[in-house]
Chain A
Amino acid sequence: MSSRASILEKIRNNKPELVELPDLSIFTHNVTTENLIDTFIEVSTTNASTVVNLVNTETSLELFLAKFIAENFGEHSKVYNTLNGNDIPEIDFKTTHVDVFVALPKIAVAENGCMWITNEQLPQRISAFGSENTLFIVDHKNIVPTMHQAYSKVKENIGEYGVFIAGPSKTADIEQSLVIGAQGAVSNTIILI
């Protein structure tokens, strides 16, 4: 008998009587937009992201972004920008230093700062991890209260690969001292629009 067949047979013989799945509809959250934005900013800041709030301003995103990147990552910084679609020439991340990855997540979560991007924004999956810094443009209309609402939206398009990113990579593996910048991006910026 194959291992597959023997494992499945053992489970059939040993499993307990069927227990029904619980109802998840109790986890609904009624909150105001203002609440969502404030919570999202607060949590993201705790997660060590830099948050710039452009909601209720007349600033042009394009101009702001160009200026912000030049000021923070250098005039000639290499940018992996996915805002205008994913038709981006392939980059060898092993040999090319990319300063900043830019994307617009479709979902952002107030309770934990998670931002959802899929292969649609990641023509090369490594781009969000192999770039030195990440920068996300978050439309405040895309903020949901908790992971429950986030997954009902994720369901619409799970994609081939999708990731929630909640800040820059970090570790506390040496004596519990928090260090920002482990194996992924060393900084994360969120521009709220």
Chain B
Amino acid sequence: MSIHAQKAKDFIANEERTNWHDGALWHVRNKRDISASGVPEWEALRNTASQIKDNVLSNLDTYLIQFEAAAKANGVHIHWAANGNEHNAIIGDIIDKHNARKIVKSKSMLTEECGLNHFLEDNGIEIIDTDLGERIIQMRNEPPSHIVLPAIHIKKEEVGELFHAQLGTEKGNADPTYLTKAARTHLQNKFFEADIAITGVNFAIAETGGVVICTNEGNADMGCHAAPVHIHCMGMEKILPKLEHLGVFTRLLARSATGQPSTIYTSHYHKPESSKEMHIVIVDNGRSEQLAKEDFRNSLKCIRCGACMNTCPIYRRSGGHSYHATIPGPIGAILQPNRDLKAYSDLPFASTLCGSCSDVCPVKINIHEQLYKWRQEIYKNNELPKSKVTSLKIATKVFKSPSTYDFLGKFARASMKALPRFMMYNKFNDWGKHRELPQPPKQSFKEWYKNKNNE
């Protein structure tokens, strides 16, 4: 069984939770639909966003150089990291230079990708995630299960117990308002104690050298404005050419993510506040290789809204952790194989290829087509499990020979009727688990068509 299938099996063992998870995410998808349909030019926005990203990817080196020059002119320190280790080392150096011991960090999938938290903790640095969902999973020593809703897999009673144990809230109190207030008090102290604040980056503007960060909680701003030093970590594909392009992307991001018309805070950092220090780390970590692959480079357009996860019938019923990757869901399944084809060869198969992900993607990434293409890459690189290779070889033979196909069709229809239950519903037949097989039809389509023409 693949890792995804095994982990999904663990997740769905709790049926009630699976159903809640499925329903909660579908609700978010629904809110996205209502929000998107309220904007008459929605499709024009998606097309435009996709074209802007096409331009960015085709001119990325120039934009990065322009961005760097503008940011430096603003008094911002710019760093370049070829991979995750270099990213972590750069942050380690800034921390050493300031003798920092306490760090606060707002949501950043990039720092997750680079393993920053572990790196800092191993070096004796306290790092506190300040987004509520991220703080919850950090307390549980877990990775996020969703890029926008990191704690969507956890029930409020579990948060109540966690906060009782770690923040001293009342035992048995699982009221979300009460728990959120407790976290607010806890985090307010952390903001003012912090030596350095770290954030991710939603957009970076080549023309002005600034970075844009979107949150609902206000945690990125609290962190940056309370600490003497702030560091913004960005994947190099986050660049937009000009300020005016933000008009397109800010209209798409929150509507696609949660159905809100905008995030509550959209913050534009261009210069540090007087007597403070601002750093930006530009990270490659495999992105330049992805850029070379014509079939897959479009995945670099992703703005991390999570809409593809909320709509995915597999994601909703298998949970984010089943993807055993920093970025789960359909977009994760096309990003991760680029990093390590062997380790993530199961992910492009965790899909029905229904195409719903591509339909909701605000930058029109052809996610389901890329999933299909990754499957072929995985086959070519001999990373398919033997059982799958064998059955595909048999299928190829069957589909190549009409007479074998007809015979097996007849045989299957007859045996489905004749076989006793235990022969069909057993551990060897995955299609008979948790479901009833359909009644076999009396005749095949070919037979029906032939008879019809003879009538």
Chain A contact residues, CB within 8 Å of chain B? 2-4, 6-8, 10-22, 24, 26-27, 43, 47, 93-94, 109, 111-114, 119, 124-126, 128-130, 146-148, 150-152, 154-155, 158-177, 179, 181-185
Contact A183 to B61, CB < 8 A, known contacts A16-B297, A169-B216: no
**Cβ-neighbour of A184 out of B44, B48, B222, B288 (below 8 A):** B222
A151 and B247 form a contact (CB under 8 A): yes
Check A14 against B246 for contact (C-beta < 8 Å).
Answer: no
When each residue 285-303 of chain B gets 1 if its CB lies under 8 Å from chain A and 0 otherwise, what string results? 0001101101001000000
Interface centre among A94, A119, A163 (most CB of B within 10 A): A163
B82 pairs with A22, CB closer than 8 A: no
Q: B59 near A18 (CB under 8 angstroms)?
A: yes
Residue of A nearest to B23 (CB): A176
B179: Cβ under 8 A from any A Cβ: yes
What are 23 pairs between A and B in contact, CB < 8 Å? A2-B80, A7-B236, A7-B288, A18-B55, A18-B59, A19-B51, A22-B51, A22-B55, A114-B262, A114-B266, A148-B247, A151-B246, A158-B243, A158-B270, A160-B74, A161-B268, A161-B271, A166-B263, A174-B132, A174-B136, A174-B156, A183-B217, A184-B221
Taken together as a complex, chains A and B put the C-alpha atoms of A150 and B244 apart, in Å, by: 9
Q: A7-B284, A22-B48, A126-B226 are in contact. Are A161 and B261 (CB under 8 A)?
A: no
Q: How far is the CA of A20 from the CA of B58 in the complex (A)?
A: 9
How far is it, in angstroms, between the C-alpha of A24 and the C-alpha of B131 when the chains are bound?
Answer: 34
Q: Which residues of B contact A47 (CB under 8 A)?
A: 260-261, 264
A15 in contact with B57 given A22-B48, A158-B270 (CB within 8 Å): yes
* Closest A-B pairs by Cβ, 10 of them: A184-B218, A173-B133, A112-B261, A182-B217, A14-B292, A112-B262, A126-B225, A10-B288, A160-B271, A177-B176
B222: contacting residue among A129, A155, A175, CB under 8 A = A129
Is A26 in contact with B44, judged by CB distance below 8 angstroms?
yes
| Minimum C-beta distance from B332 to chain A (A) | 20
B262 to A171, Cβ gap below 8 A? no
Check A19–B54 contact: CB distance below 8 A.
yes
On whether the beta carbons of A181 and B136 are closer than 8 Å, the reply is: no
Inter-chain contact B176/A8, CB cutoff 8 Å: no
* Interchain nearest-CB distance for A173 vs B (Å): 4
A26 CA to B49 CA, complexed, in Å: 13
Knowing A150-B247, A161-B268, say if A171 contacts B216 (CB, 8 Å).
yes
Let me know if B180 and A13 touch, CB within 8 A: no
Residues of B within 8 A of A150 (CB): 247
Chain B residue nearest in CB terms to A5: B80
A-B contact count (CB 8 A): 256
Whether the pair A11, B218 counts as a contact (CB closer than 8 A) is no
A27–B41 CB distance below 8 A: yes
> Inside 8 A of B191's CB, which chain A residues have their CB?
183
Q: Are B159 and A174 in contact (CB under 8 A)?
A: yes
Query: What is the distance, in angstroms, from A94's C-beta to the closest C-beta of chain B?
Result: 4
A176 to B132, CA, bound (A): 12
Q: Which residues of A have CB within 8 Å of B156?
A: 174-175, 177
* Chain B hits for A4, CB < 8 A: 80
Interface string of B266-287 (1 = CB under 8 A from A): 1111110100000000101000
Minimum distance in angstroms from B438 CB to a CB of chain A: 35
CB distance from A119 to the nearest CB of B (A): 8
